[in-house]
């Protein structure tokens, strides 16, 4: 499967979810402190389909210090007709990373301004890199500004990607925001990295690092300032992500939210001009895992 096909899978995933065709229970979650880490359990099925999926994914952020990737996990696929196990996809978090990157590109497809002058990437890890690779399907812009807490990692990011992109390193997130009108945040930050005052008119932001109740990459006032505020799941946004934190701060109400799958189907809810500020808050929904697990399984069956 190429990148464009995976973006199309994510589009079908979100439209199925928002049209009531998917059954997605609340996320299961374990939070660890020594060492710092988390594990998420996401599961569900699409009505009338052949399978259901259970995904377990973890992030242990000190793993690179001992030579291991921070992401781990697997997806389990079962028959929706009999309950029989069909596949164990021991992907070590790869499929989660890929479906997240494809969802980020999908958000940019519908909400980025027509003329993107530069792409801003906050974070330097696997997801930061994948976001750029998938954005190549959406925009011809190759000018990139990157910010990371660790300057060595930012330099490595630049070195690794400068054959494909014109990469600049920002010393401050405010500097990055002053140069970019498409920004993607990919960190596990627990304190805001982007403030409302940094953001240029017309900027689109896809926020995907904040997928628990304690994480936050965007100042709550930034969500209040946004002309368009979209989430992947309205129910899920009540307990995690940027929207959850902004609601806690009393700066937005549920009435301001639109769900991605609904917005895709209704052009009236999409960007109307290149002066609007838009934010898409992606916390990750099991319907994405269902789609990508089935895509892998079907590709395997077709090959044997």
Residue range 246-273: average pLDDT? 95
Q: What is the pLDDT of residues 61-75, one digit of tens each?
A: 899 889 998 889 999
pLDDT surpassing 80 at residue 1: no
Same domain, 295 and 278: no
Residue 145 has φ and ψ, to the nearest 5°, of -115, 135
- The answer to whether residues 158 and 198 belong to one domain is yes
User: Rounded distance, CA 41 to CA 121, Å?
Assistant: 27
Q: Give yes or no: residues 120 and 246 share one domain.
A: yes
291 and 276 in a common domain: no
Residues 180, 279: one domain? Answer: yes
CATH of residue 280's domain is 3.40.50.720
Residue in this structure with the two tokens 């395997």, named with its chain if needed: 300
Residues 172, 161 share a domain? yes
Residue range(s) defining the domain that contains residue 213: 102-285
Distance CA 139, CA 116 (A): 8
* 64 DSSP 8-state letter: G
User: What mean pLDDT is reported for the chain?
Assistant: 95
Instruction: Give dist(CA 293, CA 87) in Å, integer.
Output: 9
Residue 89 sits in a domain of what CATH number?
Answer: 3.30.1780.10
- For residues 91 and 120, the answer to whether their CB atoms sit within 8 Å is no
Q: Which of 55, 163, 191, 225 is catalytic?
A: 55
Do 66 and 134 sit in the same domain of this protein?
Answer: no
83 and 148 together in one domain? no
pLDDT tens digits, 19-54? 999 999 999 999 999 999 999 999 999 999 999 999
Number of domains in the chain: 2
Instruction: Look at residue 304 and tell me whether its pLDDT is greater than 90.
Output: no
Q: CA angle, 43 as apex, 41 and 44 as ends, to 5°?
A: 165
128 and 49 together in one domain: no
Q: What angle do CA 3, 58, 60 make, to 5 degrees?
A: 110
Same domain, 146 and 281: yes
Task: Tell whether the model's pLDDT for residue 283 goes beyond 90.
Answer: yes
| Model confidence band, residue 247 (pLDDT cutoffs 50, 70, 90) | very high
Task: State residue 303 phi and psi, 5-degree precision.
Answer: -95, -10
For residue 61, the model assigns a pLDDT of 85
Same domain, 72 and 207: no
Phi, psi of 141 (to 5 degrees): -65, 130
What is the per-residue pLDDT across 110-142, written as a single tens digit (0 to 9) for each? 999 999 999 999 999 999 999 999 999 999 999
Q: Examine the domain organization and report whether 41 and 63 are in the same domain.
A: yes
55 is catalytic: yes
Q: Give the per-residue pLDDT at 30.
A: 95
Residue 258 predicted with pLDDT over 90? yes
> What's the CA gap between 260 and 138, in Å, rounded?
17
């Amino acid at each position: 499967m190429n990148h464009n096909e995976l973006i199309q899978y994510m589009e079908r995933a979100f439209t199925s979810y928002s049209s009531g065709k998917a059954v997605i229970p609340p996320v299961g979650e374990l939070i660890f402190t020594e060492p710092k880490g988390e594990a998420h359990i996401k599961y569900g099925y699409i009505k009338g389909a052949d399978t259901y999926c259970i995904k377990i994914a973890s992030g242990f952020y000190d793993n690179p210090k001992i030579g291991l990737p921070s992401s781990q996990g697997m997806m389990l696929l079962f028959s929706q007709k009999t309950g029989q196990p069909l596949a164990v996809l021991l992907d070590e978090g790869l499929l989660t990373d890929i479906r997240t990157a494809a969802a980020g590109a999908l958000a940019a497809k519908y909400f980025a301004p027509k003329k993107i002058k530069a792409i801003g990437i906050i974070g330097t890890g696997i997801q930061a890199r994948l976001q750029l690779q998938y954005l190549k399907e959406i925009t011809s812009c190759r000018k990139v500004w990157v910010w990371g807490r660790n300057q060595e990692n930012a330099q490595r990011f630049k070195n690794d990607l400068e054959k494909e992109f014109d990469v600049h390193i920002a010393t401050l997130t405010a500097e990055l925001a002053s140069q970019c009108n498409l920004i993607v945040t990919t960190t596990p930050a627990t304190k805001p990295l982007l403030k409302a005052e940094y953001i240029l008119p017309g900027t689109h932001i896809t926020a995907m690092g904040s997928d628990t109740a304690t994480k936050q990459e965007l100042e709550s006032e930034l969500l209040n300032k946004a002309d368009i505020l979209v989430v992947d799941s309205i129910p899920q946004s009540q307990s995690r992500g940027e929207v959850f934190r902004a609601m806690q701060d009393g700066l937005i109400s549920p009435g301001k939210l639109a769900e991605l799958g609904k917005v895709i189907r209704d052009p009236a809810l999409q960007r109307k001009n290149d002066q609007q500020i838009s934010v898409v808050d992606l916390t990750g929904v099991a319907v994405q895992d269902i789609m990508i697990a089935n895509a892998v399984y079907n590709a395997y069956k077709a090959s044997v």
